[in-house]
Amino acid sequence: MDDGTPAPLLEVRGLRKHFGGVKAVDGCDFEVGAGEMVGLIGPNGAGKSTVVELLSGLLKPDAGTVLFDGREIQGLPPHRIFASGLSRCFQLAKPWPRLSVLENLLIAIPPEGKDTIWRALLTPPSRVRAAERAARERALAVAEQYRLHPLRNDYAYTLSGGQRRLLEFARIALARPKLALLDEPMAGVNPVLQVEIERGIRNLVEDGTTVLLIEHNLGFVERICDRVIVMVEGRVAATGSLAELRDNPIVQDAYLGVVGAA
């Protein structure tokens, strides 16, 4: 029966990861719907980055299930999770330093189909060249969109932190994931490039990618997120719009730090 409610794109149930005695993620439950732009906020050490590591496969959970696009992905290796349509950006953006900006973009375009070696051998050279041309045109168009076009022939190691971040967004855009996990994309970025990054996140959402954004700057979160999930001590303490949550005592106590300020 279809009641008109779309199934969530991401469903996290009972997710747990302890490091020795540290209960980094301790029974975390939340959902993200397709097309949503959701903020994940909470104090330092709440477990937000660990959730991203668990979802993207860099860490294996101790317990819990992660349903992504209708399939369980918990414990799968990172490349399988990436191939299923889930991309993440790192707290520090790391492009291939000895490749040019354009080359970094070209290698972000996923091969079509899995049988790429056989396809490369069996496809007539003229068609391979046409595919290469199309990939190059797409990469250049995305470079333009993310204001990287003037830098396209520069080595990636010459880019500033903010430019690397833009390159990372452009790479995510080329991979066309269903879901992008962004862990503090504004960290260490100057105010001019912050504007570009905000535009980059909006571009991703407009292109159909669902976004889960970890960010400390609540003004920014309020501007671009439909909804926020508040994590405290490894669990979800509250969800809703930031406007609603400002009055929530759990959130005020744990995050906004206004309780006991006398």
Which of Mg ion, ligand ADP, none interacts with 195 (beta carbon under 5 to 8 A by kind)?
A: none
Least distance between ligand ADP and beta carbon 44 (Å): 4
CA 262 to chain centre: 39
Is 19 a residue that touches ligand ADP (CB under 6 A)? yes
Residues 25-84 that bind ligand ADP (CB under 6 A): 42, 44-50
How far apart, in Å, are the Cα atoms of 23 and each of 47, 75, 180, 196, 250? 8, 18, 25, 36, 19
Strand, coil or helix: what is 222?
A: helix
Q: Where are the beta strands (DSSP E) in the chain?
A: 8-19, 22-33, 37-41, 63-68, 71-72, 86-89, 179-183, 210-214, 227-232, 235-240
The residue from 40, 49, 229, 232 that contacts Mg ion (CB under 5 A) is 49
Taking a C-beta distance cutoff of 8 angstroms, is the pair 182, 214 a contact?
A: yes
Q: Decide whether 19 or 157 has the Cβ nearer to Mg ion.
A: 19
Rounded Cα distance between 5 and 71, Å, is: 18
Nearer Cβ to ligand ADP (139/225): 225
The site partner of 161 among ligand ADP, Mg ion, none (C-beta below 5 to 8 Å per kind) is none
Task: Select from Mg ion, ligand ADP, none the partner in contact with residue 95, using the beta carbon and a kind-dependent cut-off of 5 to 8 Å.
Answer: none
Size of the site for ligand ADP (CB under 6 A): 11
Tokens representing residue 101 in the block: 């900006």
Residue 229 near residue 41, CB atoms below 8 Å = yes
> Which run of H or of E encompasses 83?
helix 78-83
Residue 92 touching ligand ADP (CB under 6 A): no
Least gap, CB of 214 to ligand ADP (angstroms): 7
Q: Which does 47 bind (CB under 5 to 8 A by kind): ligand ADP, Mg ion, none?
A: ligand ADP
Return d(Cα 243, Cα 245) in angstroms, integer. Answer: 6
CB closer to ligand ADP, 170 vs 245: 245
Residue 81 CA to its chain's centroid (Å): 13
Residue 44: which of ligand ADP, Mg ion, none does it interact with, CB under 5 to 8 A by kind? ligand ADP
Could you tell which of ligand ADP, Mg ion, none binds residue 22, using a CB distance below 5 to 8 A set by kind? ligand ADP
| CA 147/CA 193 separation, integer angstroms | 10
Residue 96 found at the interface with ligand ADP (CB under 6 A) = no
Does 143 interact with ligand ADP (rule: CB under 6 A)?
A: no
Residue ranges binding Mg ion (CB under 5 A): 49
Residue ranges binding ligand ADP (CB under 6 A): 19, 22, 24, 42, 44-50
